[in-house]
Structure 1
């Protein structure tokens, strides 16, 4: 479960395109940030590259990419490359029967980012790989989970939505803004399509890709319509005035009160029989001098702080610690969920620090100045985390808030998380 959106310059306050996504996954799945530099490849020595389940043909050169990803997946839930191409995907549930292991949607994101200079190139790259290798494979962390994919793709000048069902696909260019969730959205208003879909549309003027391929039961219980409507309602209410703060409000929005699962919320909270957990969040704003990215590197944007990244790597930036970086923040979050941590005080301090960061970003004109903010606020956020985490780190989590099911859910998940971290020698 995820939510992805893009706002083109025509609807934002400062005339800058903004791209964003919440990644909703298993709450125990480590969400990490990985920077991979541009590389040349000797195709005689390295003719193929291993993706999550299969190998694909390598290319002579791959571009530098920044990936926001599950730790065990080769690909990524979302990310950008050195040319500013951004891609985020969504699980979509279709009537197409599951085939053998192939490329999963997250692999297709990474491959497209490594091989594309524009959003259009990325869209074409994904469709060509889909035709050659197909899509399929388990995407679940601690349970098996299979799905097809939709994508939002942007590059600062244009954006595309691409939706797939097995080998079939349709795509269209985005006008002004768009949001996708865990459901197909394109009927017959597409600009590009799989050849068989083009023929079907020619033969049937009422053809709808969404209606033909959507699997109704999973799509309904995923609450995709509710979450997408929430994103679009906020965007439409702020047309011409949309800023990073507007997008933060979308990514932090809820449909329920605390201590409940919320599959219908853009900021998704686990704790019920269905639904996932927002394990990571990011916002990318295209700027005249250098693009900026704000990311959580942690679960639940309603509680986590957005930190600064630039398109290019900055020494000592707060992303290179992988699972330990994520795990500390996740264990602190569990103290907030249990009621043992002072969430109210933490979020107040978080809000102040985040507003200071945004103020400094907007009042810093040089790239060197922005680089210093990456490190400065990365360190400040680490200090804030330690202030609330260190006094509790040796205390067993005791969940006392919410329903009986909710408490049992988080007790079970947290015990498993601690066991997993200890087995990886990542105990904190």
Structure 2
């Protein structure tokens, strides 16, 4: 069965001031994703065959619980990378490495965006992208694109198997589950044009356009990539001196639609639904990073649904954000990811009426967490306490309008991971 997982990543390289990086990771709704700080010790061995990823560099990684690779991350040197699934004409083998694995290697071993680009080029040409990439749907496979950024430089790096194209970013760049680099690449795989020509993906006498040649047009459209990219750009239009608040708003945007409406995801803040095109389209973690020469500043939700959550300061602190074992995870009320997911699912049953019961408190708390004086440990503790309070308030509103198929879908999802009703 065909499924679509989606993500949205944005980088802003202004004429002056810090570089900004932000991402929503969208995956299956019951796939826990933990924010972890690694300080040189690795929680679980790297997949066999990959280069040694041991390092003393501290890393913030947002990682699906069952995978070694990371959806997104920032290291202490101020290098940030986010990964996206892209759908191409080339097959994805049953064995290989996820783009998230290659990304974690680059975050562990590199200090700059230029270095990370070189590392990812080498890894892409050397190793096969393949293997299990979906949580419950392990047959789901894809190629990867990446946004790579540091305090001065950013790159879009897109792959189709071992073939790739790279484009330096100036201003705003967003990627959302489709190849975007056409003939405007700064660098490209030496054999990409020859392969596209031999397979008649390039018109005779026409210019070589990487995305047009290698994209799977049906799956790219079904993922809603161009619509979501446009939504993110609109959210940031006219912002000359970006602030964290701008990215909080952009990542929580529903694009003027209802959270679970439509046959595909069309906004950065994604919520799964029973439609086969949306069962794996849920924002399961979000991150914002300000990248400066003095060092990175990071905020993260550590939860799903940024529209209902709070971006909190995320320091390189392995006691606050400890590495977890690499294993499937089920409901654990002590984990903020699971506690929030219970709140999220309660709100989806009557989204607007239940959300409004704690909206003012959430917005006020969000403002506090973005202040330079915010204490990270206190922020994470306070958020966990507030989640229980917000859930209690939300459940005081009776759910009246939840469609039957939506109720059945979420009931099945919650039973599978033991989330209380």
Is TM (by shorter chain) over 0.5? yes
Give a deviation string over 1:42-97, Cα, whole Å, max 9, x none: xxxxxx9532xx43232664532111011001000000112111000111000001
- 2:10·2:175 contact (CA, 8 Å) conserved in 1? yes
Matched with 1:50 is 46
What is the alpha-carbon distance in structure 1 between the residues aligned to residue 311 and residue 284 of structure 2?
A: 13
Q: Which moved more, 1:61-70 or 1:252-261?
A: 252-261
Any idea what the Cα deviations from partners look like across 1:134-190, whole Å, max 9, x if unmatched? 211121111131110100000111000000001100101111120000100001111
Within 5 Å, which residues of 2 pair with 1:28-43?
28-38=30-40
What is the DSSP-based 3-state SS (H/G/I as helix, E as strand, rest coil) of the residue aligned with 1:50? coil
Partner of residue 191 from structure 2, selected from 192, 196, 199: 196
Check if 1:134 corresponds to 2:128: yes
The answer on 1:297 being equivalent to 2:291 is no
Distance change in 2, residues 1:334/1:232 (3 Å): same
SS in 1 for 2:356: helix
Instruction: Quote the offset at 1:204 in angstroms.
Output: 5.8
Report how many residues are paired.
Answer: 394
**Aligned positions of 1:211-222 closer than 5 A:** 211-222=212-223
Alpha-carbon separation, structure 2, partners of 1:125 and 1:288: 22
Equivalences for 1:25-424 in 2 at 5 Å?
25-38=27-40, 50-51=46-47, 54-58=48-52, 61=55, 63-143=57-137, 144-197=139-192, 206-235=207-236, 237-255=237-255, 256-258=257-259, 260=261, 263-273=265-275, 274-275=277-278, 276-287=281-292, 289-310=294-315, 312-313=316-317, 315=319, 317=320, 324-339=335-350, 342-358=354-370, 360-361=371-372, 364=373, 373-389=375-391, 401-418=401-418
Consecutive unaligned residues in structure 2, runs of 5 or more: 1-5, 198-203, 330-334
Contact 1:188–1:201 at 8 Å: present in 2 too?
no
The structure whose RCO (Cα within 8 Å, separation 6+) is larger is 2
- Under a length normalisation based on structure 1, what TM-score does the superposition of the two structures give? 0.84
Distance change (3 Å), C-alpha of 1:204 and 1:159: farther
Residues 36, 324 of structure 2: 8 Å contact kept: no
For residues 339 and 206 of structure 2, the distance between their equivalents in structure 1, rounded to whole angstroms, comes to 54
TM-score, normalised to structure 2, is: 0.86
* Distance apart, 1:234 and its partner CA: 2.5
Larger displacement relative to structure 2 (57-66 or 180-189): 57-66
RMSD, matched Cα: 2.9
Q: Distance in 2 between matches of 1:58 and 1:320?
A: 19
